[in-house]
Amino acid sequence: MSVYTGAVQDLIDELGRLPGVGPKSAQRIAFHLLKIPTVDAVRLARAITEAKERVTFCERCFNLAEGTLCGICSDDRREPHVLCVVEESRDIVAVERTREYRGRYHVLQGAISPIEGIGPDQLKVKELLARIDPEGVTEVILCTNPNIEGEATAMYLGRLLSPLGLTVTRIASGLPVGGDLEYADELTLGRALEGRRSFDS
Amino acid sequence: MRSKGALYRDHGVVLRTYKLGEADRIIVIATEHNGKVRAVAKGVRKTRSKFGSRLEPMSHVALQLYQGRELDIVTQAETVDHFRAIREDLDRYGHAASMLEAVDQMAMEREDNPRLYRMLLGALRSLAADDSPLVVAGFYWKLLAQEGFRPELDVCVGCGEDADLVAFDLHEGGTLCRVCRSGFPLSAGALDLLRRILGGQLAGALAEPRSAATHEVDQLATRAMEHHIERRLKSVGMLDRG
């Protein structure tokens, strides 16, 4: 049942397609947009069009990029022989925030999930393998999520990469800083114990 | 039926999860007393979630849930078993995923089915102990038998002949002799394995080493399961090597 005139209803319908936006929120946003000055609304429209036009995936690592290579791949100061494999571009932002990593990335654009029918072929795995030799990669860090899909992906890649004679590492699992031990789940605490370090090292 | 707003407790195995919103997940659980339950686990995707790894697929958990109208809400979760041996082995994980997918397809929401729950647990335990080539097939055949699809394996379903059974037809529901044959060809070794799986000697069949016959039984089990649920199983064979 549409009670609004064509253009308003179209706007509500389009907004309603966005993740996390229901019909009621869509209505609220639509009315907000109609109320604000035209310049503000046009600026939003232009930001969307420009982002869609300019942003593509980096040819090398499949991160978001403006142009053929992303900011990290085109930065000469980055260590070229270490690759950090992540599931999504968002994960790069998370790793970058640590300021602990100076190498390059590879975005798989997903994780292996048999139940959803996502296998290695749907991910950027072939592209990862094709980078190893030409770029002289000596270490691959498997930085997928520590959940069942991410673990399966890491195991799959580990099995594929280890025979190539390079260092393959998996990020550690453990307790979040600032948390309480008593709330830790068994698997995490178990792995934290397993991966404990000698105190004087 | 319990009214909305009540808290209840149950044991269950997490079958699969869907992302919901920013940091939540919908968890699908095969429970002991409430059938298949879909529940929201709030904030599980945050690193500091109180649930941590407990609500990952395949986890056997003791839960406290809040009954909602469509989706329940997980209020507490305790691990009973997280099947680490399966989780940390890609082949076993692939097999476990095939079992979870089949149970997800077969289980009815909020329909009490403790046998299904116990069979799944048993299968996961045996998979954790040993990755037998027949673990998925054994589970599928047992599950189908329990749901009422128990194939005829002793005589030909066409003419009643009890010798020279060389084929298996899913539409006919069992084995066929050389004269009546239709469906898939069936070797003597595979027929023997099928009889053992459905005749109470599952443990013995699971101990069999990988062979052409185990492969045949495995393929047939997948086809029978797909025939029964009337759709393809996405996870079967996806992580198999080769």
B238 touches chain A (CB under 8 A): yes
The ipTM estimated for the assembled molecules is 0.83
CATH assignment, A74-198: 3.40.1360.10
CATH assignment, A6-54: 1.10.8.420
Window 116-155 of B: residues touching A by CB (8 A cutoff) are: none
Considering only residues A65 and A3, tell me which one the structure prediction assigns the higher pLDDT.
A65
Rounded average pLDDT over A14-32: 91
- Choose among A115, A148, A188: nearest Cβ to B235: A115
A121 touches chain B (CB under 8 A): no
Domain ranges of chain B: 7-84, 132-238
In the predicted model, is pLDDT for residue A48 greater than 90? yes
Which candidate in B93, B231, B232, B240 is best for mutational testing of the A interface (most A CBs within 10 A)? B93
- Choose among B52, B93, B101: nearest Cβ to A188: B52
For residue A2, give how far its alpha carbon lies from the nearest alpha carbon of chain B (Å).
27
When the candidates are 3.30.465.10, 2.40.50.140, 2.60.40.10, 3.30.930.10, the CATH number that belongs to B7-84 is 2.40.50.140
Q: What is the CA radius of gyration of chain A?
A: 22
Quick one: pLDDT band at residue A20, thresholds 50, 70, 90?
confident
Q: Which residues of A touch B97 (CB under 8 A)?
A: 114-115
In the predicted model, is pLDDT for residue A133 greater than 60? yes
Interchain proximity B239–A116, CB inside 8 Å: no
Which candidate in B22, B25, B50, B53 is best for mutational testing of the A interface (most A CBs within 10 A)? B53
Interchain proximity B79–A186, CB inside 8 Å: yes
Q: Picking from A58-62, A144-148, A185-189, B26-30, which range would have the lowest pLDDT averaged per residue?
A: A185-189
pLDDT in tens, B121-154: 999 999 999 888 899 999 999 999 988 888 889 9
Whether the Cβ atoms of residue B107 and residue B89 lie closer than 8 Å to each other:
no
Burial B58-67 (b: 16+ CB within 10 A, else e): bbbbebebbb
What is the model's pLDDT at position A185? 84
Q: Which residues of A touch B82 (CB under 8 A)?
A: 186-187
For residue A26, give how far its alpha carbon lies from the nearest alpha carbon of chain B (Å).
16
Does A74-198 match A6-54 at the fold level? no
In the predicted model, is pLDDT for residue A140 greater than 90? yes
Q: What is the mean pLDDT of chain A?
A: 90
Long-range Cβ pairs for the range B115-118 (8 Å, 24+):
B115/B146, B116/B30, B116/B143, B116/B146, B117/B11, B117/B12, B117/B13, B117/B30, B117/B31, B117/B32, B118/B32
Which residue stretches of chain B have pLDDT < 50?
242
- Residue A105: name the closest of A174, A156, A57, A150 by CA: A57
Rounded average pLDDT over A68-93: 92
What is the model's pLDDT at position B52? 80
Q: Which residue of B has its CA nearest to A156?
A: B90
B76 touches chain A (CB under 8 A): no
- The number of C-beta contacts closer than 8 angstroms across A and B is 71
What is the model's pLDDT at position B242? 42
Q: Picking from A51-55, A125-129, B200-204, which range would have the lowest pLDDT averaged per residue?
A: B200-204
Q: Which residues of A touch B16 (CB under 8 A)?
A: 115
Q: How far is CA B151 from CA B171, B194, B195, B212, in A?
A: 10, 9, 10, 21
Could you give the CA distance from residue A137 to residue A100 in angstroms, rounded to a whole number? 19
For residue B209, give how far its alpha carbon lies from the nearest alpha carbon of chain A (Å).
24
Name A167's bridge partners: A139
pLDDT in tens, A152-184: 999 999 999 999 989 999 999 888 888 788 888
Q: How far is CA B25 from CA A33, A170, A185, B5, in A?
A: 31, 25, 17, 20
Strand blocks (E) in chain A: 55-57, 64-66, 79-86, 103-107, 139-142, 167-170
Domain ranges of chain A: 6-54, 74-198
In the predicted model, is pLDDT for residue A2 greater than 80? no
DSSP for residue A182: G
What is the model's pLDDT at position A19? 85
Q: Which residues of B touch A112 (CB under 8 A)?
A: 239
B54 touches chain A (CB under 8 A): yes
In the predicted model, is pLDDT for residue A79 greater than 80? yes
- The pTM for the full model equals 0.85
Cα angle for residues B141, B142, B144 (degrees, 5° grid): 65
DSSP string computed for chain B? -PPTT-EEEEEEEEEEEEEETTTEEEEEEEESSS-EEEEEETTTTSTT-SSGGGGSTT-EEEEEEE--SSSEEEEEEEEEE--HHHHT-HHHHHHHHHHHHHHHHHPPBT---HHHHHHHHHHHHHHHH---TTHHHHHHHHHHHHTT---B-SS-TTT---S-EEEEETTTTEEEETTT--SEE--HHHHHHHHHHHTT-HHHHHTSPP-HHHHHHHHHHHHHHHHHHTS--SSTTTT---
